[in-house]
Amino acid sequence: MSRRVLTLLLAGFFVLALGVVGAFRPVPYVVLSPGPTENTIGDIDKKPVISISGRQTYPTSGALSLVTVAYQGGPAAQIDLLTALRGWIDPTVAVVPQETIFPPGRDAKKVDEENAVEMTNSQDSAKAAALNELKIPYERVVTVLSTEQGKPADGKLQKGDQINSVDGKPATDSQFVGDTVKAHKPGETVTFNVTRGSQKLDVSLQPIASKDGKPLVGVLMQEKFKFPFDVTINVGDVGGPSAGLMFSLGILDKLTPGEITGGKRIAGTGTIDTEGQVGPIGGIAQKMVGARDSGATVFLTPADNCAEAMKAVPEGLRLVKADTLHDAVLALDALRTGKGIVPACEAG
């Protein structure tokens, strides 16, 4: 064998070896794929996803399924280059930069904790939105979920404190509390009136500047509602706020005569606020694949996700635009009865 051929063979071997080694090196990307679906008017592990006591309920049929996105990767379990390459050629998944899911300073545990909080808040907002749709009154309170160590609220506000007012103005919701704090300059005093146990207390805090210069006190809040009857939601390990719309529809279906699905398998997604406004979500392409794989033929889509969804809608899945909970109810009525307008998504 000539020296030249030997050199070429050795060079080729080293290139191949480097390629193999490189393929298994960790890369800062996350793979998003279709996650499980859960029927909000069905059961998980023989337990109802939505349980209602203290109020008359009615039979349901079909499915009102929430959809999820599963992810692979993250700071503590980075994927390798080969996994990322497989994801890039698979049309049912997405490969995104790691910081999209895990911004700097937020590890997997922190993200999971935040997703759990968002899910709890989403469930409460969904209950409130459903009751608003049915014109059933309820009370709303803002409570302290936790405080950040070393921040102004640390040691002064406590988990479970009910925030009654900020600077003398009623704390109508967590957004109002946050906006009132942000209206101050760092170092100025902001006064919280809270109920702690049987006591009402005034707590004075001096906000500090965050990294982007905005004032903060370091408190994580949760909106709680006092409903006239019990609504319990059981979804296991699912996190995040994107199932709000489907929770509200499931509650409505159980509280009203008739079956709003018409026996069809309906899936959908979208955040929801207490007034029933449906907001956009991430991972719409993967969620539609999961919906179609579960047998759904109709997919309720937030209006702001419609253009993106139209580019990747699976065959056999009808997209129905949902701006509000009320719009979604009307659309399902029209689908069931064949009367009225079913708002469709349009390409952007």
- Domain assignments of the chain as residue spans, ordered by start: 30-135+228-337, 139-226
What is residue 25's three-state secondary structure?
coil
Q: Which of 62-66, 202-206, 244-248, 281-285 has the lowest mean pLDDT?
A: 281-285
Ranking 94-98, 121-125, 181-185, 331-335 by mean pLDDT, the lowest is 94-98
pLDDT at 144 over 70: yes
Provide the pLDDT for residue 343.
Answer: 94
Query: Is pLDDT at 68 greater than 80 in this prediction?
Result: yes
Task: List the single range of 113-127, 181-195, 213-227 with lowest mean pLDDT.
Answer: 113-127
Q: What pLDDT band is residue 237 in, cutting at 50, 70 and 90? A: confident
Q: Give the rounded percent of residues in the chain with a pLDDT score beyond 90.
A: 63
Alpha helix ranges (H) inside the chain: 3-23, 81-89, 98-101, 108-133, 174-182, 244-255, 284-293, 306-310, 325-337
Domain boundaries 30-135+228-337, CATH class = alpha beta
Instruction: Please state whether beta strands 50-53 and 63-73 pair in parallel, antiparallel, or not at all (unpaired).
Output: unpaired
Tokens, residue 135: 């014109």
Quick one: pLDDT band at residue 121, thresholds 50, 70, 90?
confident
In angstroms, how far is CA 243 from the centroid of its own chain? 6
Judge whether 287 counts as a catalytic residue. yes
User: How many angstroms separate the CA atoms of 70 and 26, rounded?
Assistant: 19
CA dist., res. 250 & res. 39, Å (int): 9
- Euclidean distance between CA atoms 77 and 175, whole angstroms: 34
Q: How many CA atoms, within 13 angstroms, populate the side-chain half-sphere of residue 132?
A: 19
Q: What is the mean pLDDT of residues 291-315?
A: 95
DSSP three-state, residue 305 = helix
288 and 312 in contact (C-beta within 8 Å)?
A: yes
Angstrom distance (rounded) from CA 310 to CA 203 = 50
Is-catalytic flag, 33?
Answer: no
Question: What's residue 86's pLDDT?
Answer: 81
Return the pLDDT at 298. 96
Q: Is residue 153 scored above 90 in pLDDT? A: yes
Catalytic residue among 122, 242, 254, 321: 242
Does residue 102 carry a pLDDT above 90? no
Residue 51 is predicted with a pLDDT of 96
Q: Which two tokens stand for residue 66?
A: 């929430």
Q: How confident is the model at residue 348 (pLDDT cuts 50, 70, 90)?
A: low
Mean pLDDT of the residues in the chain: 87
**Does the structure show a pLDDT above 60 at 18?**
no
Sign of CA dihedral 272, 274, 276, 277: negative
User: What three-state secondary structure class fits 264?
Assistant: coil
Confidence category of residue 11, pLDDT binned at 50, 70, 90: very low
Q: By mean pLDDT, which of 116-120, 135-139, 145-149 is the weakest?
A: 116-120
Q: Which tops the pLDDT comparison, 172 or 164? A: 164
What value does the mean pLDDT take over residues 132-136?
96
pLDDT for 17 beyond 50:
no
Catalytic residue among 151, 156, 254, 287: 287
Percent over 70 (pLDDT), the chain: 90
User: Any idea which fold 139-226 has?
Assistant: Pdz3 Domain (2.30.42)
pLDDT grade for 33, boundaries at 50, 70 and 90: confident
